[in-house]
Amino acid sequence: MKARLLLLSAFVLLCSILAGAGTIYENGAVSGDYNAYRFNNPNFVTDTFTVSGGNSTVTGLSIWILIFMTDHDPTAELVISSQANGGGTVYFDQVVQFSESNCYANGWGYNLCEETASLTNGPALSNGSYWITLKNGTIPSGADFGWDQNSGLGCISPGCPSQAEYRYGTISSEAFTITGTTNGDSGTTPSNPKTSSIFLFGGGFAGLAGMLRRLIG
């Protein structure tokens, strides 16, 4: 009986994780080419994103950047607001530290890297359209780096592809994913978690089930 209760509790916990964590908005895959816009001072890049799955709390941002092979893990000021480049109502404004993964050379002497940042006290947002801005980006070497421009390549989220602006005007949008938790109380369908997350949780559940079968046996 104790083992069955443990199995039931684990299943409920897993379901709550799968329901609560996932992708709020994604603007497509990395383009893999040479087009990228800098967000080191005085440059900025600002893109729209849409919340469509009910009241959502933003907990992370993943972007693709073009960066010299000897440089790593930039920091940047991240702003979420109701208008472009931090204008209108500001919901979040913090300097965040990115950590890189999945880097590969693009043939032009640069790496393309996926950079991920966790947001401390990320904003709670209702359904609607918002702007995410990156500016004041830095790396220790002081070299240039830029946000990969993908024009919404392969995006599937409602509201995609994003609108985007640079310090000189309108541009095509960038490769990014906004993650967080969604309570889905608006009556709309929450965004699906990334496929990799589904596989991760699926593998974890398989391992857990095996362990519990051993306990029951």
The residue with greater pLDDT, 142 or 32, is: 142
pLDDT of residue 9: 34
pLDDT of residue 67: 95
Place of tokens 């702003």: 79
Residue 8 counted as domain residue = no
In tens, the pLDDT along 109-162 reads: 899 999 999 999 999 999 999 999 999 999 999 999 999 999 999 999 999 999
Residue 46 counted as domain residue = yes
Q: State the average pLDDT for the chain.
A: 81
Range 181-184, long-range pairs (CB < 8 A, 24+ positions): 181/20, 181/21, 181/22, 181/56, 181/57, 181/59, 182/20, 182/22, 182/24, 182/53, 182/54, 182/55, 182/56, 182/57, 183/20, 183/54, 183/55, 183/56, 184/19, 184/53, 184/54
209 vs 17, 79, 90, CA distance in Å? 16, 42, 45
Residue 211 counted as domain residue = no
Q: What are phi and psi of 20, to 5 degrees?
A: -90, -30
Enclosing H/E stretch for 147: strand 145-148
Domain that holds residue 173: 23-194
> For the residues of 101-133, what is the DSSP string, one character each?
EEEEE-SSSEEEEEEEEEPTTPPEE-SEEEEEE
Average pLDDT over residues 16-20: 41
How crowded is the C-beta side of 2, counted as CA atoms within 13 Å?
A: 2
Average pLDDT over residues 189-201: 34
Residue 216 counted as domain residue = no
Tokens standing for residue 160: 């995609």
Q: Could you tell me the CATH number of the domain that includes residue 175?
A: 2.60.120
pTM across the whole model: 0.75
The residue with greater pLDDT, 80 or 203, is: 80
48 vs 10, 15, 24, 68, 133, CA distance in Å? 38, 31, 13, 27, 9
Residue 81 counted as domain residue = yes
Q: Give the span between the Cα atoms of 151 and 30, in whole angstroms.
A: 10
CA angle 60, 66, 67 (to 5 degrees): 100
pLDDT of residue 105: 93
Give the count of domains, the chain.
1
Q: What percent of the chain has pLDDT over 70?
A: 75
202 pLDDT exceeds 60? no
| pLDDT tier for residue 25 given thresholds of 50, 70 and 90 | very high
| pLDDT tier for residue 108 given thresholds of 50, 70 and 90 | confident
Q: Give the span between the Cα atoms of 141 and 43, in whole angstroms.
A: 17
The residue with greater pLDDT, 59 or 192, is: 59
Average pLDDT over residues 10-16: 37
Residue 37 counted as domain residue = yes
Residue 53 counted as domain residue = yes
Residue 148 counted as domain residue = yes
pLDDT of residue 2: 32
Average pLDDT over residues 180-200: 47
